[in-house]
Each structure stands twice: as structure tokens, then as C-alpha cells.
Amino acid sequence: MNAPVLLVVAHGSRDPRHAATVHALVRRVRAMRPGLRVETGFLDFTLPSVPGVLESLAREGVRDVVALPLLLTRAFHAKSDIPAVLRAAPARLRVRQAEVLGPDPLLVAALERRLAEAGQTGADRGSTGVVLASAGSSDPEAVAVIDTVAREWRRAAGWRAVLPAYASAALPRTEGAVAELRALGCARVAVAPYVLAPGFLPDRIARGAAGADVLADVLGPAPEVARVLLGRYDAARHPLRAALGA
């Protein structure tokens, strides 16, 4: 039996860097799982659209699709508009929606990778504060997830402090979290964007990091992100096996 097609569902953006980063991540996923068919669809602004990809797959005779939201938290897109788009898929397709990428320890490893690439070494963790800067959401569940990731990252990694920040919908903003870490006495402050691709909100995060010592890059096509993506695909493809931890 052929494996289900993996359809990566990205938000889309008018910023061309967004699509370029999504495509780079998909190329890494393909390289890590040769033989798996991976397609990309966008909810808005960018082609191909998710409905267009689904229609094309149905015309080819594809029967099974795992649709994976390229999101770090379960907020509006994962709970509402993506399910609505998938319900409108051609009847001949069997479409399963995978879980969002976060939270996951591998994503924290990707954050650590990006900080190291930006020049933040582990030698001064005890005096360094980190801003975990996310896009933000009005969904309390999503905000709670970011808060938990920040708290657990500090405990596991030994940073002096890790504070969450949000580019929209919730507070504090990145610049506020940077100032708070300075007030706490952190000798160094690093900003780690907890976002997948460049765009309007990541640019806002970058502007808010002006007072920090280090600004890491977005997660993008980090190998850890690709591994999480494939793990979510496998769990959606074999839900019983995933539930048993096999």
C-alpha cells in the first residue's frame, strides 16, 4: 500500500521570504524521507492553495492524504479554518489532519541551534536571559503553551531566565521582555524567535530585539523541525501505534 501523501499546510504571506523558507523546509523533509511524496499548500496570499492541491491530488487518483498544519500552537488556524478547508476536499480523498508541530523538545533543540549559530555560547547560560518570542495569539491555550515552553526551557537548559514575548495579541512585546531581563540583572540578553518563517510579525520581533545582545534566526528548515514534522505525519498515519509509543 502506498504511503499517504504528506500535505504541508502553511499560512502564506505577502513576504516572499515566507514561501522560500517553507519550501526549504519541505526540501529537507523530502531528503530525510526519500520516497515520501510531500506537497505544499498555502491558506492565503501564496500559491498553490490548499484546495487547489487537494483537487489536483484527487484528479491524479490519490486516495490518502495527511494534512499537516505548519503551526507551533493549536490556535484559530488549527482549530477552525484548516479543518474547514479539509472538510471541503474532494469526496474521493481520505484526508487526516495531523497535530501541529509544538510543543516538542526537538523544537527547543532547534531554538538552541539558532542561538548558537547567532553567537550565543552555552558558557554564560547562568548570566544570560532569553526572550522566547512568538507571533502571539488571542487563544488562551496557545498563550499557555508558549508560557510552558519558556518555563521548561529555562529549567532544562540552565538559562538565568527565559521570558515569553508576543509580536501580537498578547503581552509583553519583545522589547518589554528584553527590558525586564535587563532589570532582573541579566548580563546578556538573547532573543530566540519561536516562529517558522520570516514575515511581518517576525520582523516586529526583530525590531523589538534592538536592545538585546543576540538575535537568533527563525526556526526555518532546521533539521529538528523536519524531524518533528515527520513524527507528526507518522502519528497521523498510524494513530494506534503512536498512542502505544511504538
Tens of pLDDT, residues 174-196: 999 999 999 999 999 999 999 99
Ordered by where they begin, the domains of the chain are: 5-102+222-243 (3.40.50.1400), 105-215 (3.40.50.1400)
Residue 245 binned pLDDT confidence (cut-offs 50, 70, 90): low
Q: What is the pLDDT of residues 59-70, one digit of tens each?
A: 999 999 999 999
Please give the backbone phi and psi of residue 39, each rounded to the nearest 5 degrees, phi first: -115, 160
For position 240, what pLDDT does the model report?
A: 47
Cβ neighbors of 228 (< 8 A, separation 6 or more) are: 101, 104, 106, 107
The DSSP line for 127-138 is: GEEEEEEE---S
Mean pLDDT over 33-54 rounds to 97
What digits encode the pLDDT tens for the residues 196-226? 999 999 999 999 999 999 999 999 999 999 9
Residue 238: pLDDT band (50, 70, 90) is confident
For residue 34, what are the CA distances in angstroms to 26, 38, 196, 222, 230? 12, 10, 23, 18, 12
Rounded to the nearest 5 percent, the helix, strand and coil shares of the chain are: 50, 15, 35
Q: How much of the chain, in percent, has pLDDT values that exceed 90? A: 89
| Under 8 Å between Cβ of 129 and 162 | yes
What one-character-per-residue DSSP string does 184-220 give? Answer: TT-SEEEEEE--SS-SHHHHHHHHHGGGSSEEPPP-T
Query: What are 77-87's pLDDT values in tens digits?
Result: 778 899 999 99
Q: Is the overall model pTM greater than 0.75, yes or no?
A: yes
88 CB contacts (<8 Å, ≥6 apart)?
51
